[in-house]
Amino acid sequence: MAFADNLQQLPSIAHIAELQLFDDQGQLAATIPNAPGKIGSLTLYHALYAKHGRIDAKAAEEGLVLFAEHTADAKTHPGSHPNIDRLLEVIASGQGYTVTIVAKPETSAS
């Protein structure tokens, strides 16, 4: 299946402002905002976190499958898909990430 098709099968991220990735030393390594151009990666990383509890090698392998056609492009053009590059690095190094979800602020209707 194509990446767009895979995204249709994943849970909504409407409630998320951003996803934060922390390395094994507890340092903030990356953020994926709920913003144009990042929504696909945010959706995928959120689904991996929901299923695996963190981004580890097993989650990263699944993520590469879900990124579908973009994974091959990322391997051919390193640096063009940083969120895929990160998953490749998790697999290569064995070093994963813990995840914190930052919720969108509640808005009250007036």
Phi, psi of 102 (to 5 degrees): -100, 115
Please determine, for residue 108, whether its predicted confidence score (pLDDT) is greater than 80.
no
Measured CA to CA in angstroms, residue 16 lies from 2, 42, 61, 72, 82 at distances of: 24, 9, 24, 28, 20
What are 25-61's pLDDT values in tens digits? 999 999 999 999 999 999 999 999 999 999 999 999 9
The Cβ of residue 46 has, within 10 Å, a number of other Cβ atoms equal to: 21
Q: What is the mean pLDDT of the chain?
A: 95
Candidates 2, 37, 31, 1; CA nearest to 17 is 31
- Give residue 65's identity as a one-letter amino acid code: V
**Up-side HSE of residue 48: CA atoms within 13 Å toward CB?**
31
How confident is the model at residue 1, as a pLDDT?
Answer: 86
Phi, psi of 50 (to 5 degrees): -60, -35
pTM of the full structure: 0.93
